[in-house]
Amino acid sequence: MSEPMGRRYDAYAARTDRWMAALAFVFLLVWSGRIILFESLPQGIRSMLLTVQGVIWLIFLVDIIIRTLISQKSWKFLWTHPIDVIAVLVPAARPLKVLSAFTQGAAFASAKGRLQTMQAVVLSVILLLWIGSVAVLSAEREVADSAINNFGDALWWAVVTVTTVGYGDFSPVSVTGRIVAVIMMLLGIALIGVVTASVAAWFVSVTSGEGDAADEAREVGRHEELQEQVRDLEAKIDRLLENQRRET
């Protein structure tokens, strides 16, 4: 990214990222409320919530167009920023940008980096479960043969799917529901892999730290032993010199 383009993009991102994240959470609340409380909401309220969703979607669409245009990579930006693209389809997914915390090479290199990684994973899992639950409920509730008819069942199904347990007591039967299930399974496997990598990195750092401490203790011991030997040699030399002076 050239210097002027880089500054323009960074300045735009700094001004808009927080606002877009806030809009993503608003979208999540509006979308979830419209789906979960669908049967109890008056038609006017449902229409208003749908309008809010549409407005937020347009804002996200404009945002990614602007980001694409001011990025030096131009249309390649869309390939290198998949979460921004996904957020246009599902604005509630925008907070998943926290996943970039562990795409950096130094993510596990320090205690702070590992803590940020685990925080990102926890937030991502919560968002994934919530979005998946609402999405599958929206797809399955009106299907006659589906067993997923309320948010509690949908949330239970999402937890079972993301953790790859797969009890099979609830399963989607619609095409849309099964597409959501495939996405949930793939993301669940990916997040489990990240957790495993984070734990492994922590374990390696701990064991490495213990080894370094043991090596340092041995070095200190050898140093003190050598100092003691030097002091003994100096004492012997002093005695020899004293005896020589007495003889002369």
Which of 14-18, 80-84, 196-200 bottoms out in mean pLDDT, i.e. has the lowest?
Answer: 196-200
Between the ranges 10-14, 92-96, 108-112, where is the mean pLDDT highest?
Answer: 10-14
**Mean pLDDT in residue range 68-82:** 76
Average pLDDT over residues 202-207: 62
Non-local CB neighbours of 144 within 8 Å, separated by 6+ positions = none
| Torsion angle, alpha carbons of 116, 117, 118, 122, to 10 | 100
Query: What pLDDT score was predicted for residue 218?
Result: 64
Does residue 106 surpass a pLDDT of 90? no
As a dihedral over the C-alpha atoms of residue 223, residue 226, residue 231, residue 232, rounded to 10 degrees, the angle is 150
Predicted pLDDT of residue 14: 85
Region 77-92 average pLDDT: 75
Q: Tell me the mean pLDDT in the region 108-118.
A: 61
The answer to whether residue 7 scores a pLDDT higher than 80 is no
Question: What is the arithmetic mean of pLDDT over 161-175?
Answer: 83
* Neighbour count for residue 159 (Cβ, 10 Å): 16
DSSP-derived letter for residue 40 is G
Burial (CB count <10 Å: 0-12, 13-18, 19+), residue 70: buried
Question: Higher model confidence: residue 237 or residue 28?
Answer: 28
Q: Which of 21-35, 57-71, 185-199, 206-220 has the lowest mean pLDDT?
A: 206-220
104 pLDDT more than 50: no
Cα gap 35→44, rounded to integer Å: 14
Write down the pLDDT at residue 136: 93
Best CA proximity match to 176, nearest among 143, 217, 200: 143
Residues in the chain: 248
pLDDT at 189: 79
Return the higher-pLDDT residue of 237 and 22.
Answer: 22
135 by DSSP, 3-state: which? Answer: helix
Q: Cβ-count burial of 168 within 10 angstroms (0-12 exposed, 13-18 middle, 19+ buried)?
A: exposed
Q: What is the mean pLDDT of the chain?
A: 77
Distance CA 76, CA 73 (A): 5
Q: Is the pLDDT of residue 138 over 80?
A: yes
How many C-beta atoms lie closer than 10 Å to residue 115's C-beta?
13
Least confident of 19-23, 46-50, 134-138, 225-229: 225-229
Contact 190, 103 (CB under 8 A): no
Cα Rg for the chain, rounded, in angstroms?
A: 30
Distance, CA of 246 to CA of 150 (rounded, Å)? 105
For residue 76, pLDDT beyond 90: no
The residue type at 92: A
**Which has the higher per-residue pLDDT, 93 or 15?**
15
Question: What is d(CA 49, CA 72) in angstroms, rounded to the nearest whole number?
Answer: 37
pLDDT of residue 248: 63
Report H helices in the chain. Answer: 3-36, 43-70, 77-80, 82-89, 111-140, 151-162, 175-247
Confidence of residue 235 (pLDDT cuts 50, 70, 90): confident
Contact status, residue 73 vs residue 6, Cβ threshold 8 Å: no
